[in-house]
């Protein structure tokens, strides 16, 4: 299974909105509403931000939102804050009941 495709890096200024894309195929992202997003700060474990494309776990800021169109899922962060800086990973369920992650995107808050 091939990793999902994410941009290597994105950046934005405080208060702005940014979107991170996650592109797969009809056998993973496009075939199921089972995309998740994780935030990872240096030296820390990943933290779930979105599951099942659009759902936010309890305690996650409503500045984080997820969506999907065709084979591409997206994570949008609005009202960017310095604490949002870090690495973001998407993952998807696949047609062979496995999980595939994206390569990760480094978010820089300018």
Partner 1 sequence: QVQLQESGPGRVKPSETLSLTCGVSGYSISSGYFWGWIRQPPGKGLEWIGSMYLSGNTYYNPSLKSRVTISLDMSKNRFSLKLSSVTAADTAVYYCARDRRALAGPAFDFWGHGTLVTVSS
Q: Which residues bind partner 1 (CB under 8 A)?
A: 1, 3, 32-36, 38, 44-48, 51-52, 57, 89, 91, 93, 96-104
User: Contact, 66 vs 35, CB < 8 A?
Assistant: yes
Q: How far is the CB of 110 from partner 1 (least distance, A)?
A: 23
Closest to partner 1 by CB, 17 vs 98, is 98
Q: How far is the CB of 21 from partner 1 (least distance, A)?
A: 16
Task: Dihedral sign for Cα 50, 57, 99, 35, please.
Answer: negative
Closest to partner 1 by CB, 35 vs 77, is 35
**What is residue 2's three-state secondary structure?**
coil
Burial of 77 from C-beta contacts in 10 A (0-12 / 13-18 / 19+): buried
Q: How far is the CB of 95 from partner 1 (least distance, A)?
A: 12
């Amino acid at each position: 299974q091939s990793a999902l495709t994410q941009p290597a890096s994105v950046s934005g200024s405080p208060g702005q909105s940014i979107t991170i894309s996650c592109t797969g195929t009809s056998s993973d992202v496009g075939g199921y509403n089972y995309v998740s997003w994780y935030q990872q700060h240096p030296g820390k474990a990943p933290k779930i931000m979105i599951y099942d494309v659009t759902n936010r776990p309890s305690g996650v800021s409503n500045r984080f939102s997820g969506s999907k169109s065709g084979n591409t899922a997206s994570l949008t962060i609005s009202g960017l804050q310095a604490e949002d800086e870090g690495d973001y990973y998407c993952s998807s369920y696949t047609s062979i009941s496995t999980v595939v992650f994206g390569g990760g995107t480094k978010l820089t808050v300018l």
